[in-house]
Amino acid sequence: MITAILQYLPKHPTHAVRTDSFSKFQSVCGMIEQESYLAGHAACHAVMNGMSRTIASDADISDKASISRGLERLFAAGPWECLVIPGLVDAEMQQAVTEICRKHLDDFDFCVIMDMPRQSDVSEIISRQKSSPRFVSYAWPWVSTVTPGRRSAEYLPASCLVPALSLGCTRSLRGVHDISIAASDVERLRDAGVQVMHEIVENRRLVGLASPVCAVESDPFMSGVANMPNDGPPRTVIAIAGDCPDMAVEVMIREALETQSAALIRQYGKNDISLWGALTRMSISVLNGFRDRGLIKDFRVRCDSETAEWGTPESPVVEVILTYPQRVKSAQFNVI
């Protein structure tokens, strides 16, 4: 599954950027340390929650011409399953996006997820949803999250988080810090066709999706999402940051860490300080091997009470920050 993202990108790439890891996304588009970088948050949570890759296009979402250019780049780079424009809440701009997307409905199947202002009235959200075509869904509410690479919780528009849920890539979101929405509002919004995130157990850090009834019954993008079974035992999320010159190296590191972390999850069975320590020691041991082979220059590993809050009650997040060696690509020798 692929998420298309249209938003401000700090490095302003002139083409649609297709990536399959967040470290690669940051190296091409800009680091998550940037403020007001909603595209970075959307890309991080998409990959962290099961989307296979992202396609991002730079745009000034306050300018219709810029939005149009950015959308055309995304459609030219398609296909993809879902389009998000995090933070775009102006009704006139959203209508312009809808009209551009309508012209491309024959290109490939896709859905568009729209945002509303953080303090919107439920009736206003329902009204805007009902006036939208079937391929457009509004998502609600804004959610407090801790994105790997950021040290504090931030409120993000729902479109940064909901694609992996609505497309069935995950049953519950990882990295969610807090969400608050009344049960009565969940039902009203769901019945109107809005993608509603809500807590699915008493612990607020486990967040699922109340799938719209009309969408599940008639929309191929939502089929099977409402009662999606659990897709396996809990697993640790390895959040890797660093500018990797060779994606094969990152894949090797990620696979090694995820394989051994799965064994530790089964062994310890409880998400507490004992598991965090075991995951940290395992990660250091694995990464020392990669450093000894010269594939990485240095690393930092963190799995503690803070990173555990980025995951679910059963599965913590291990934050890994890597420093790669600078490779010499070519050299010229003057021989006398």
Q: What is the pTM of this model?
A: 0.66
CA distances, 153 to each of 20, 38, 93, 95 (Å): 25, 14, 28, 31
Q: Which of 218, 250, 275 marks a domain boundary?
A: 218
207-210 and 195-199 beta bridge pairing: antiparallel
**92 with 160, same domain?**
yes
In a domain, 200, yes or no: yes
Q: Which helix (H) or strand (E) holds 100?
A: helix 91-102
- Model pLDDT for residues 292-329, shown as the tens digit of each residue: 888 888 888 988 888 877 766 777 888 888 888 876 65
Structural domain including 316 reads 237-323
pLDDT band at residue 209 under the 50/70/90 scheme: confident
Q: In what order do the strands lie in the sheet with 53-58?
A: 17-19, 53-58, 2-7, 82-84, 111-114, 136-140, 195-199, 207-210
Do both 206 and 294 map to the same domain? no
Q: Is 332 part of a structural domain of the chain?
A: no
User: How many domains does the chain contain in total?
Assistant: 2
- Are residue 205 and residue 105 in the same domain, yes or no? yes
Q: Is residue 316 part of a domain?
A: yes
Claim to verify: residue 106 and residue 138 sit in the same structural domain: yes
Q: Tell me, yes or no, whether 93 and 196 share the same domain.
A: yes
Residues 94 and 194 in one domain: yes
* CB neighbours of residue 121 within 10 Å: 10
Q: Is residue 268 part of a domain?
A: yes
Q: In what order do the strands lie in the sheet with 317-323?
A: 237-241, 317-323, 298-302
The CATH number that applies at residue 155 is: 3.40.50
Q: Between 208 and 201, whose confidence is greater?
A: 208
pLDDT tens for each residue of 56-85: 999 999 999 999 999 999 999 989 999 999
DSSP output for 125-177 = HHHHHHTS-TTEEEEE--EEE--TT-SS-EEE-GGGTTHHHHTTS-SSBSSEE
Co-location of 282 and 210 in the same domain: no
Tell me if 119 is assigned to some domain: yes
Per-residue pLDDT, 245: 63
10-41 pLDDT, tens digit per residue, is 999 999 999 888 888 888 998 877 667 899 99
